[in-house]
Amino acid sequence: MGDSTFEKLEHSYTNRIQNQALFNDAWNLFVNDYPPTHCLLDFKELPSTSVALYAGDLGFAILWIVQSVLIRCILYNINQLQPWPLELHNNTIGAMAHTEPDTNRMIARYSDQNTLVLTGKKNYISGGNDADIVLVTARRPGENKFTKIIYIPVKSLPENALQDINLSILPSIKHSSLTLTDYSCNASQCCPVKDKRLRKILKKWSLIERSLIGEAYIAFLLYLVKNIQLPEQDKIIDQTQNLLSMQKSFSRQQLENAFSDKFIDTLGDVASVLSITQLVASHCMENINTLNNPIKARINDLNLFNKLRL
């Protein structure tokens, strides 16, 4: 366990991004040692930060954050209000389908008392076709804000409902869009907590997700800084380590606030992070022919902020 897990994930990275069939074994290795959980305050260093820092795998870091924050923490808060028991194992991959286009938003209507019908699209789903379950946010016809979350086993989705998308970043995990047209499911799959209370829970943990992704990204940046030859490398390593320490403290405070229903702030030292990102990206582009293949396989993840607009 521990370092050997991250060493294995680091060494297998290049093969894994070229062969998606290797995903399950690698993911199971990771989550068997570091199970996703809502008990995030139990960690001295989050596994998502560690896998980015020691394995250089930002995709696994973000997927672990999704499993812990957007799935298990949200379900934990929901179950504090009303029981909604969903069976999750350590290696169960849950996807949160929330981001959607301005048009064709997800609508949920009742065709009868026991049947919910979903129509609409979700743009970006981490985990995608590797997921076992999807939590889909939706709204009543004619409403702007989402009012429901519906639990859907991926195996029950229509063929081609989940479509892989290529973001050119995070190649160690899949990303998908979801399109449903008059998809019927049992009304019991709808979360018992609805409307404003549900939106408050999702907003809170979405802010935490951003903070933890920021922490994982800085850890990934430090991985790159240590593994390429930069001018004034020691100075840049120190700067990045300081940024990571500050973000860890910041994230810890936000987690404590989240579990005690206090104000959550998402601001960090974004300017310094972007400055080091630009320096590393420019160096990599100028020296692309001298970089080894494992580093080349990772450098597109420097575009995370641009792609996801964190």
| Three state DSSP letters for 222-253 | HHHHHHCCCCCHHHHHHHHHHHHHHHHHHHHH
AA letter at 260 = S
Angle between helices 233-259 and 47-54 (to 10 degrees): 160
Cα–Cα dist 178/120, whole Å: 8
Cα–Cα dist 88/300, whole Å: 32
Spatial CA neighbour of 196 closest among 253, 150, 261, 145: 145
What pLDDT is attached to residue 1? 46
What pLDDT is attached to residue 307? 73
What pLDDT is attached to residue 3? 58
What pLDDT is attached to residue 309? 56
What pLDDT is attached to residue 306? 79
Cα–Cα dist 290/102, whole Å: 43
What CATH number does the domain located at 94-194 have? 2.40.110.10
Q: Is the pTM of this model over 0.85?
A: yes
> Residue 10: which residues within 8 A CB-CB, separation 6 or more?
54, 55, 56, 57, 294
- Segment-wise mean pLDDT, segments of 10 residues, the chain, 310 residues: 83 95 96 98 98 98 98 98 95 96 94 96 94 97 94 96 94 97 97 97 96 97 95 94 96 95 80 93 94 96 79
Cα–Cα dist 256/260, whole Å: 6
As a dihedral over the C-alpha atoms of residue 72, residue 212, residue 296, residue 56, rounded to 10 degrees, the angle is: -70
Count of CB atoms within 10 A of residue 118's CB?
Answer: 20
Cβ–Cβ < 8 Å for 59, 172: yes
CA distances from 204 to 210, 245, 248, 260 (A): 10, 23, 18, 11
Q: Determine the Cα angle at 96 with ends 198 and 200, to 5°.
A: 20
**Domain positions in the chain:** 94-194
